Amino acid sequence: MNATTKTEVAAIAAPPAEPTVLLWSRSQNVLHIEPLSRMLDKNRRAYVADRRMDYVPMFIGSDDDCHAAAASMRQTLIKRQDQREAAKGKPL
């Protein structure tokens, strides 16, 4: 019989982490990360209220994976913000 370590027992007993979602808002040019269950709850409430939602799910995974995905997208958001400011005639 194999001996099981305390770490292995804790890993077996611990529930899996809740999935996290990376959301993108076109109108605000921002990213947002939150638990998947919270996003779904907000979407259901928007549906009931017949309210538009601006945030688009871009990635679902662990919190760390969502932050990594957000980091990979950040330069695009910065470039878009610069373009929006230039289109308004504001100095960069």
| Predicted confidence (pLDDT) per residue in 53-73, tens digit | 999 999 999 999 999 999 999
Question: What confidence score (pLDDT) does residue 15 get?
Answer: 73
Q: Is residue 3 part of a domain?
A: no
Q: Is residue 26 part of a domain?
A: yes
How many structural domains compose the chain? 1
Phi, psi of 22 (to 5 degrees): -100, 125
61 three-class SS: strand
Question: What confidence score (pLDDT) does residue 17 get?
Answer: 86
Q: Which domain holds residue 67?
A: 17-87
Q: Is residue 12 part of a domain?
A: no
Q: Is residue 59 part of a domain?
A: yes
Which residues in the chain land under pLDDT 70? 1-13, 90-92
Q: How many CA atoms lie within 13 A of 12 on its CB side?
A: 6
